Structures are given as C-alpha cells and as structure tokens.
Amino acid sequence: MAQVTAASHGEHEATTTGLNHRKMLMWAFLGSDCMFFGSLIATYLVYKGKSKAGPFPEDVFSIPVTSVSTFVLLMSSMSMVLAYAALTRGNMKAFRIWLASTVIMGATFLAFQTFEFYEFANHEVVVECNDPDAADWTDLQAKVGSACGSFVAGEETEVTIGEYTVKVFEEDGHAVAETTAGLTPRTNLFGTTFFTLTGFHGAHVTLGVIWLLSLFFFSFRKGGVTPKRNLDVDLAALYWHFVDVVWIVIFTVVYLFGVFQGF
Amino acid sequence: MTTLSFPIIRRPMHPTGVWSWITTIDHKRIGILYGVTAFALFILGGIEALLIRTQLIGPDRDFVSAEVFNQLFTMHGTTMIFLAIMPLGAAFFNFVIPLQIGARDVAFPRLNAFSYWTFLAGAIILNASWFLGGAPNAGWFGYAPITGQAFNPGHGIDFWIIGLQVLGIASLAAAFNFIVTIINMRAPGMTWMRLPLFTWMTFITAILLVLAFPVITVALIELMFDRKFGTNFFFTPAGGNPVLWQHLFWVFGHPEVYILILPAMGIVSEVLPTFSKKPLFGYPTVVLAGALIGFMGWMVWSHHMFTVGLGPIANSVFTITTMAIAVPTGIKIFNWLGTIWKGSLDFRTPMLFALGFIVLFTIGGISGVMHSMASSDAQQQDTYFIIAHIHYVLFSGAIMAIMAGIYYWFPKFSGRMYDERMGKMHFVLMFIGQNLAFFPMHFYGLDGMPRRIYTYDADMGWTALNALSTSGAYLIAFSFFIFIFNMVKSWRKGEKAANDPWDGRTLEWSIPSPPPEHNFDEIPTVHDRDDWWARKRGGVKHGVPVSGGSGEGHAIHMPQPSFWPIVVSIGLLVGAFGLIYNVAVAGIGGGIAMVGIYAWAFEPVNEPDEKQPAHH
Amino acid sequence: MTQQAHSADAHHAEAAPVHTGHPTPGTYFKVAMALTAITALEVVVYFFEWLSYGIIPILVILSLVKFALVAMFYMHLRYDHKLFSTMFVAGLVLALLVAFALLALFKWFI
C-alpha cells in the first residue's frame, strides 16, 4: 500500500496511458474474478433442480431474512463510497466513520450468512396436521405431514419416512409433525453448489472486511492514509463494490429464482 | 517514510551471491530464473517421456508397471504443459518484453518475483508426489470420476489439484503484471500498431490466462471439495455429472493450448523477419489473426468431447467453430511464408528452428483439422493419432519455436555467442528425431492403438512403428545433450556477443549485451514499427542513439530487492502441503503468507534517498 | 505508478477522461435509495405468485439495473477511463457467454 508514496521519491514515471498501474491491475483482476464467479454460478445453475434428495431451495430459503442481509450489504457499498469521498475531500473524521460503518455492515452481512448456514444445517420442518393450507405445502412438508396418520392423542410417536425420522406429538391441542432436515454440502447437489457459491462469496467479503479494517487502523498512523494517497482506499473500495455486485447476482439467481423447479 | 516501514527483517539493499538471486526483482534475472528452472523441468518431463517410450519399444514389456506408467504419462503431460512450455514462455516474457517496449522493468517488479517463486512452489508440490506415495495417475486432464476419492484414494490427485492451484496463482499474477506492463509502460511513440509481434502475442496470451485460469480454479476447487468434504459435484449417485468436469476443464483447456502456442508464434514472427532482412509481411493481419485466435479459442472447447454424446447440434456447432479457427492460423502461416518470400535468408540456428516450426506446426494443424470433424474424430478419439497431433503442435510447434527463441536471444541475455555448428547439429537431429518419434503415431493411431495403454500385444502389428517412435525419442534426447553442452560451454566461454549480432529490428538490440540493470540509459522514443532497424538505416532523422551502456551516471532509481515475494511464496508452499496433510499446517502457511503480504504492502518500491525529506 | 502522490499529478491522472461533474455524496445517497427501492421491489415481485415465470425477466432486468448502478456510480466507471470499463465488461460478458453455453450444453433451454 505504501509503494505509491515511496516511488514518488524516485524519478517521475509517466505511464503510457496516464492511468495508474495498480488501478489497472485491480480492474484486470475484477474482470478475471467475473470468470471465477461465472463458473461457480454456472455450476449452480447446471445442477439446479437435479438434486436427488431434499431439502430443496423452497424448503430452506427465507427471503425476508436474506433481503435484510442484502440490504445491509448494499448500504455498506454506499458507506464505502462516502468514505472514499470524505477522504478525497480531506475530511479524515468522516472518512473513518464511514469506513468503520462499512466494516460493521460487512461483518453484519457475514453474521447473517453464518446464521443462515447454521439454520440450513439444522433445518427443522414443523407442520400442523390439520393445516388448512396443506395444499400449499412443499414436497418436504407434505412428506413430514404424511406421518400425521400415526398420531396418537397425548403421546409422542416416531415414524421413519424415507430418510427422515418424524416425531408426531400434540401441541396446544393440535397434532404436530416435526423433523430435522438439515442441508449441508454433502446432503445433495443443491447443498453442494449453494454452500460452495455463497461460501466463496463470503470468503471474498471476509477478505474485504480484513482489508478495510487494516486501512481503518492504518489511518491512525501518521501518514498512513492520506487524502493524497487515496488510491489505497480507492482499490479497496473497488473490490468491495465488486463483492456487492456479485451478491446482487447471487441474490436474484440463487434466492429469488430458488423457487422454480427444474430451472 | 520511516514511519511506514514494517521492519521485521532489514531490507536487502545490496545483496550478493545467492541472496541477490533470492531477493532479485530485476525482470532479466527473473527471466533467467524462469528459463533455467523451466528447462530443468522440461528435462524431467523428457525423462518421463523416455521411460514411457522405453516401455512401449516392444510388445508385452514390463519395464515399468501399469500403475507407474499411469503416473508417468500423467506427470509427463502436466509437467510439459504447466512446468515447461508455459514457464519457458514466461522466461521470454520476462526477459524480452520490457526490452522490446523500451521500459526499465515490468509494472510490478515484486509481483514478478512472486510469480516465479510461486511457480517454483507449484513445481515442488507436483513433483514431491513422486516421493510421497505416488504421483497423480489420472491423465493430465484428470477426468472425473477416476479422480474421485473412491477410485483414487491416495494423495497423488491431491498433489495434482493443489499443485495446479498454486501454479494458477503464479500464472495469474504474471499475466496481470504483463497486461499492465504492455498497456502502460510502452516507450513514447510505441503505438499499438508499432508493438513488436512477440509483445502482441504475449499480450493476447496474458488476456487468455487471466480469463481462463479462474475456470480451472473453480473446477479444481469442486474436485477438491468432492475429495475432502464429500460434496457431490462429480458424485453420480447423488446426481453429480462427470461431464461437467470435462466442460469446465476444456473451457480452460482450449484457451490454454493457445496460451501455449501464441508466444511461440510471436517468437517465430520475430525471428523470420530478422533473418529474412524484410519486415514482417502483413503485420496488421498477423496481429488481427492472433487476436481472432484468442477470441475464437473460447468457442471450440467441446471438440475435445465429441465422443461424450453431446448430441448432433452441439457436435455440429463445435465442428464448425473448430474448422473456422484454422483460418486465422492459416493466415499467420501465409504471412510467415510471405515474410521469407524473396528475402535474403540467413540460415542461422534460430532461423532453422523457425522454419522447422512452420513446416511441422502446419502438419500438426492439418491433423487438427482432421479431427475437428466430429464424425472423423470418433475414429481418432483417445488413439495415438491424437498424441501425434498434440506433439506436432506442442513439441514440433511450441518447443521448436522456444528453441528458436533461446538461440535468437542467447547473445542478449548471456552476452556471448552460442556455437553455430552445434546449434545446427541440434536442429538437424531434433528435426529428424521428432519426425521419427511422432509421425508413425499417426499410423498406429489410426490403426487403433489407444493412448495411455502401458503395453500391447505382439500380433496387433504395432511393434515396428512403436520401435521407430522410441528410437526417435532417443534421438531427440541426444540432440538435447548437444544443446545443453552448447549452452553451458557458450555461456561460460563463448565468443563475446556484439550489441546487435543479428542486425535486429526491435529495441532490445539497441542496448548492450547483456543489458545493464536499468536497460535503457534514456527511454527511447519510437518512430517506426521496426524502429531500431529504421534508425540504423537513417530512416529516422531525429533518431537519438539510445544507449552507450555507460550505466551508472544517471540518477536512475531502480526498484530495490525484496524478501517478501519469496516469503509469500513459501507461505503458499507450506499452506499447500497443509491442505493435503494437516489443516493446522495450512494455517501456519497462511500466516506466513499474511505476514509477507503486509510487509510487502508497507515496503516502499525503493527506499528513499537519505537526503530527501520524508515529507509524507 | 505514482501520480496520485503529487497532488497536481493526481489531478492530471484522475482527470484523464472527461469529468462530467464529479459525483457528490448526494448522488451516492440517491443511488443507494434507488438500490434499496429496487431490492424492495424485487422482494415484492417474488411474492406475486400469479406472475409465475413472468418474474424471471422482471427480476433479471431489476438486478441488471442494480448491477449497473453500482458499477457506474460507486465503482466510478461512468467517470473513469473507458479502458477500465473494457477490462471489466470483457470478463463479465465472457463469463455470461460461457455460462449460457454451458447451460445450453446441459439442455437447459430445451
């Protein structure tokens, strides 16, 4: 990061295009990273709907929760660009505040993702046996609901249906069937491709958080981050926004399209 | 400035001896490191080939076991492609590109050193497998599911996966570096249409690398997860599809063959005009054809998979695109022929190799067009016919051109002349040897001999031709003894080379041999496509002699040596072994790399002069 | 590699392409509002079951707009040298083409 200043002590090196070497490298890297995520997304789509066993996307996704984490990541992009703008204006205090909030929002997104992974891995399916909307059940819910036939009032019974062990018991006077249908990378093709794709995106976010955090702490050292050397922040910001646009694609392609079968 | 430094180890300001090579960030030294290492690995791959050929010299032999044979052909392919031809190309990129574009170094000198050390780490990982339970044995394109845990429980495939990942990091770092260098460090007046052809082809190669390697990275990650974590990417009982591996591999793999051959085409396009005393015929067409090859290289990958059963539509589409890509290649060949047409030819060793390249590469191209047709390919798939094709394009093509390049630039990087007689002997023996080795493969290939079988039956009728192939392989090996002898002897006591022994055209010949550390005393201003040639002939009235080689006089700040590139590479090496054996060790490797990255980031490119105030 | 270090040069290097008015924090905030609104719209559309497969084009267009907004304003591609856009878009377009080709090869559209 410090190489920019250092070289300025040497002779002035003009570049052929007038563009900065490091910024050009960053853009070439982002173009290359498009191919990386493109291949992962292609793998996900090729295998979409090809899983032999559940749980499927419609069983585990919670769009409202993911919408919130998507919103947080989008806002972190805004905060990042405001941090950069503050730095170029020379307002170090505002720069640090916006940068810190970017880091916090990035960490929040990661917390959401951790929660989501944990939730999926321990996913519980609970159905009420006399649910009036039983017609809208997913296949997995219907499978669990099919255990309701062995309901004995006041008792808890266990039934094995396919790969699931379903508990049927009484709760508040209703018959309820419940099972754990966890999704891990080994469960099915959906789990394999979903965790790999979102996991690598999460790894990119983690790297970004570390990078931004380093800049934040470094900005307290004299001459660490200065308005003149805003390129150090500019490059981190480009990376951060790229991670954001990748998530825009993942949110649509993986989550919102998740409900379509055979697609 | 001092507040910014990150003093763990003192910076090596003026290292000498071995340390000067370990910490070097001079593109010329890195180029030589690349060249020597890659050539050593080329010899290793060659020994593997000789063992394969010795096994196949006659029917029913048991010189090596079937398992060792599998490991040999896998490592031969992987070594030659990733550890020999690619880094030999990189050696030329490093040594030649900054000189050709009139720059003092590459855009990111330390990243350049990192590329080399990481390449070395990848080579160590791949070859360590020989001593740690057996080398990878699933072929150089490692088709699933034979690479899966169930069929391949040893560590061989793990070494292959991790080795290729590390090599990918090295190649990507180098490619980013050269893209920026070529766009951004051209001397004044060096417009795109004045760029030397080798630099052009390198540029296209770097773009291909940057776009193709992420795909193999993803494929290898998926395979690794299948093996390590029991995911289902290529696990058929859970619905995984091994054909996906083939697609991902060849989406990378086909641009990869152009990554191998485009630098070779660039070298030939430099050598032919120089020794024909004519400018390159149809320069814009050659550039455009190169760019077209780079672009169309993305549209042909499934021709490696004609027999998979993709269906008539896919097979037809890929047949047509594959036939079409022969057009820009043909354009280049005609341009080379146009270049030597009516030239005053000087048959020095580099020229002989370049001419040999045209002839033999064309043969390889023609057999390529033969199996571009899906219907015809069904007969040729996985036979020795394919082996004949790949060796005509990659050995008789890429390696011949690389040899042309080594002889061509030898005076420049060593400052001495090679022995012309031995060079010609090398060419003649190698030319005969490779045709003896590879031409018969067409015949026993079409006769049905499959690739990758470790032995064959006497009454198959392949015995004589196989013996011929093996004798050709030994002849190639012998020719390389001459080459090595020539190189070692000439480098040590060869006749001193002039600055411009070939009456060259490009800027590297305008400076002393070997070039001073800072390359150009004054950055040249370019007025012409073959600028140095024109300047020598008074074509440029205001031409300034660019170099006296006096060296030290000017206050030229060259980037200073650094420890950190090799530290990061060592971190990757340790981390890679950790990924195979022990996650804790991977953590240690990651930690070393992290320390290296931070120290690197806080280390200035060059230390400020004492007298300059540290005003930041 | 050093223009940014000298403030005068920094201006020169940054300003190499034409600056059609530097974006202000106000612009960034408006973009953020647009991104939020589009995301909200996407989620609403998701719950319209009667749209059935019709949500595919709608969602594709909406997320493309989001993508473009971030790339053009937050990543400054709109204000920067077109070479940077070329580098990024080349990777992006190739990734799309390869992905579509793979989907076609896996009989996705039939």
| B366-394 pLDDT tens trace | 999 999 999 999 999 999 999 999 999 99
Please report whether residue C36 resides in a domain.
Answer: yes
Under an 8 A CB cutoff, do B238 and A40 touch?
no
- Does the CB of A12 have a partner CB in chain B at under 8 Å? no
- Does the CB of B1 have a partner CB in chain C at under 8 Å? no
Q: Give the residue from B178, B301, B615 with the most C CB atoms within 10 Å of its CB, the best one to mutate.
A: B301
Asked if the model's pLDDT at residue C1 lies above 50, the reply is no
Which domains are delineated in chain A?
40-122+184-259 (1.20.120.80), 124-180 (3.40.1840)
Residue C38's pLDDT band, with cuts at 50, 70 and 90, is very high
Averaged confidence pLDDT in chain B: 91
Q: How much is the pLDDT for B125?
A: 96
- Does the CB of B251 have a partner CB in chain C at under 8 Å? yes
Please report whether residue C87 resides in a domain.
Answer: no
Under an 8 A CB cutoff, do A35 and C16 touch?
no
Asked if the model's pLDDT at residue B75 lies above 50, the reply is yes
User: What tokens does B132 get?
Assistant: 């740690």
Chains with ≥3 CB–CB distances under 8 Å to C: A, B
Return the SS3 of A161.
strand
Return the SS3 of A174.
strand
Under an 8 A CB cutoff, do A32 and B609 touch?
no
> Which amino acid belongs to residue A8?
S
Q: How far apart are alpha carbons B510 and B533 in whole angstroms? A: 9
A232 or C8: whose pLDDT is higher?
A232
* Closest-CA residue of chain B to A219: B4
Q: How much is the pLDDT for A209?
A: 97
**Partners of residue C94 in chain B, C-beta under 8 Å:** 211, 298
Under an 8 A CB cutoff, do B604 and A7 touch?
yes
Q: How much is the pLDDT for C107?
A: 83
Q: How far apart are alpha carbons B526 and A13 in whole angstroms? A: 17
Q: How much is the pLDDT for B19?
A: 87
Please report whether residue C45 resides in a domain.
Answer: yes
Q: Which of A10, A188, A223 lies closest to B4 in CB terms? A: A223
User: CB–CB of B332/B288 below 8 Å?
Assistant: no
- Lowest-pLDDT range of B207-221, B583-597, C5-19: C5-19
Spatial neighbors of A160 by CB under 8 A, at least 6 apart, are: A166
Domain ranges across chain B: 2-10+28-545+558-602
Under an 8 A CB cutoff, do C63 and A67 touch?
no
Spatial neighbors of A45 by CB under 8 A, at least 6 apart, are: A253, C99, C103, C108
Q: Say how far residue B148 (Cα) sits from the centre of its chain.
A: 29
- Does the CB of A260 have a partner CB in chain B at under 8 Å? no
Q: How much is the pLDDT for A31?
A: 97
Q: Nearest-CA distance from B326 to chain C in Å?
A: 21
Return the SS3 of B168.
helix
Collect the ranges in chain A with pLDDT lower than 50: 1-12, 262
User: What tokens does A195 get?
Assistant: 């965790």
Q: Nearest-CA distance from B471 to chain A in Å?
A: 44
Q: Nearest-CA distance from B211 to chain C in Å?
A: 7
Q: Which of B211, B247, B605 lies closest to C91 in CB terms? A: B211
Q: How far apart are alpha carbons B503 and C65 in whole angstroms? A: 57
- Residue A128, beta-bridge partner list: A176
Question: What total of structural domains would you count in chain C?
Answer: 1
Best-predicted range by mean pLDDT among B258-267, B534-543, C25-34? Answer: B258-267
Q: How much is the pLDDT for B458?
A: 93
Return the SS3 of B415.
coil
Chains with ≥3 CB–CB distances under 8 Å to B: A, C
**Partners of residue B185 in chain A, C-beta under 8 Å:** 15-16
Asked if the model's pLDDT at residue B421 lies above 60, the reply is yes
Asked if the model's pLDDT at residue C9 lies above 80, the reply is no
User: CB–CB of A229/A218 below 8 Å?
Assistant: no
Asked if the bond preceding B98 is cis, omega within 30° of 0, the reply is no
Calculate helix-pair angle for B242-276, B400-414, nearest 10 degrees: 50
Could you read off the pLDDT of B450-502 as tens digits, one per residue?
A: 999 999 999 999 999 999 999 999 999 999 999 999 999 999 999 999 999 99
Calculate helix-pair angle for B283-296, B312-340, nearest 10 degrees: 160
C-beta atoms surrounding B77 within 10 Å:
20
Q: How much is the pLDDT for B5?
A: 47
Spatial neighbors of A102 by CB under 8 A, at least 6 apart, are: A76, A79, A80, A83, A212, A240
Q: How far separated are the first and last CA of chain C, in Å rounded?
A: 51
- The arithmetic mean of pLDDT across residues B193-197, rounded, is 95
Q: How much is the pLDDT for A4?
A: 36
Asked if the bond preceding A55 is cis, omega within 30° of 0, the reply is yes
Q: How far apart are alpha carbons A2 and A5 in whole angstroms? A: 6
Spatial neighbors of B180 by CB under 8 A, at least 6 apart, are: A21, A24, A25, A28, B107, B108
User: What tokens does A216 get?
Assistant: 């934040």
- The arithmetic mean of pLDDT across residues B544-566, rounded, is 65
User: What tokens does B245 get?
Assistant: 């591996």
- Residue B416, beta-bridge partner list: B496
Averaged confidence pLDDT in chain C: 81
- Residue A177, beta-bridge partner list: A127, A168
Please report whether residue C43 resides in a domain.
Answer: yes
User: What tokens does A49 get?
Assistant: 């709907």
Q: How far separated are the first and last CA of chain A, in Å rounded?
A: 45
User: What tokens does B179 get?
Assistant: 């893209």
Q: Which of A2, A52, A53 lies closest to B603 in CB terms? A: A2
Residue B607's pLDDT band, with cuts at 50, 70 and 90, is low
Q: Nearest-CA distance from A175 to chain B in Å?
A: 34
Task: Outline where B277-399 has alpha helix (H).
Answer: 283-296, 312-340, 349-370, 374-380, 384-393
Residue C21's pLDDT band, with cuts at 50, 70 and 90, is low
Spatial neighbors of A166 by CB under 8 A, at least 6 apart, are: A144, A147, A158, A159, A160, A177, A178, A179
Q: Can you give the C-alpha Rg of chain C in angstroms?
A: 19
User: CB–CB of B340/B271 below 8 Å?
Assistant: no
Asked if the model's pLDDT at residue B611 lies above 90, the reply is no
Under an 8 A CB cutoff, do A196 and B222 touch?
yes
Asked if the model's pLDDT at residue B293 lies above 90, the reply is yes
Q: How much is the pLDDT for C56?
A: 86
Spatial neighbors of B542 by CB under 8 A, at least 6 apart, are: B527
Q: How far apart are alpha carbons A231 and B165 in whole angstroms? A: 30
Return the SS3 of B292.
helix
Please report whether residue C102 resides in a domain.
Answer: no
Q: How much is the pLDDT for A159?
A: 86
Residue B256's region, left for phi above 0, alpha for psi from -120 to 50, else beta, is: alpha
Could you read off the pLDDT of B322-362 as tens digits, one per residue?
A: 999 999 999 999 999 999 999 999 999 999 999 999 999 99
User: CB–CB of C13/A20 below 8 Å?
Assistant: yes
- Residue ranges making up the domain that contains C28: 18-79
The CATH topology of domain B2-10+28-545+558-602 is: Cytochrome C Oxidase; Chain A (1.20.210)
Q: How much is the pLDDT for A129?
A: 85
Task: Outline where chain A has alpha helix (H).
Answer: 3-9, 21-46, 57-60, 63-89, 92-121, 139-145, 189-218, 231-250
C-beta atoms surrounding B419 within 10 Å:
18
- Give all strands of the β-sheet with A157-161 in edge-to-edge order: A124-128, A174-180, A164-171, A157-161
Asked if the model's pLDDT at residue B552 lies above 50, the reply is no
Q: How far apart are alpha carbons A215 and A232 in whole angstroms? A: 8
The fraction of chain B above a pLDDT of 90, given in percent, is 86
